[in-house]
Amino acid sequence: MNVQTNAKAKAAAKPKEPVFKTPYEKAAGIYVALMGLSALLIPADILQAHSWAVEFTDFMAAWVPQIDLISSLGIRPELNRFYYSLLWAMSPGLFVLCCLMSWEARQRSFPLWNMPLQKAIVLALVTGLVIYAASHGGWITNANNGVIRFILSNRLAMGCLGNIFYVSAPVMAAGGLFVLVAGWLSGEIPRHIRRGTEGEH
């Protein structure tokens, strides 16, 4: 009993780690939350009401095929077209935050910085495929899929699930991929691995 009591006391005394450990992580979390909230504020008829919105969404759709694919489903097309155009237009900011977050993580022995080259190549290929699938969106063209219809028809689901799965997660993955490639090309990851290996001896 005493052993269990002591273990519980130590566990209770141990300070809880914050969800966001760095300013970059906090900023990324705030960014995703704000982009999610924006789904609740966009007028449903924004493309009919504002010509600039049409020009903006057409411009973004020329760069991101996913936007036209989502619009073609006919599920709240104006709202979804503008919302995902907005998400992709703002995504460079999230990309930069994730690059900084991933680069700073080398100070905390993040797995990315200790990954052998073979595993890094596999991770890079898989991440690249995920990013391509998300940005081109060919897998979301089934309007009969109940999950897809829910994500695209419900504003809360759009701001949470749609925001994360269709844009934020792929962009964050792209930031991590960029740092992974840059870390190997610059020699920073190999140096980090060597320092860790030398420290064990």
Asked if 102 and 176 touch (Cβ cutoff 8 Å), the reply is yes
Closest CA to 75 of 152, 147, 150, 161: 152
In the prediction, which pLDDT does 80 show?
Answer: 94
Whether 146 shows a pLDDT value over 90: the answer reads: no
Higher pLDDT, 51 or 195: 51
User: Residue 189's pLDDT band (boundaries 50, 70, 90)?
Assistant: confident
Give the distance from CA 30 to its chain's centroid: 12
Instruction: For residue range 49-102, list pLDDT tens digits in order.
Output: 999 999 999 999 999 888 998 888 888 999 999 999 999 999 999 999 989 988
Rg (CA), the chain: 21
Whole-structure pTM value: 0.80
Higher pLDDT, 187 or 108: 187
Closest CA to 110 of 170, 50, 176, 12: 176
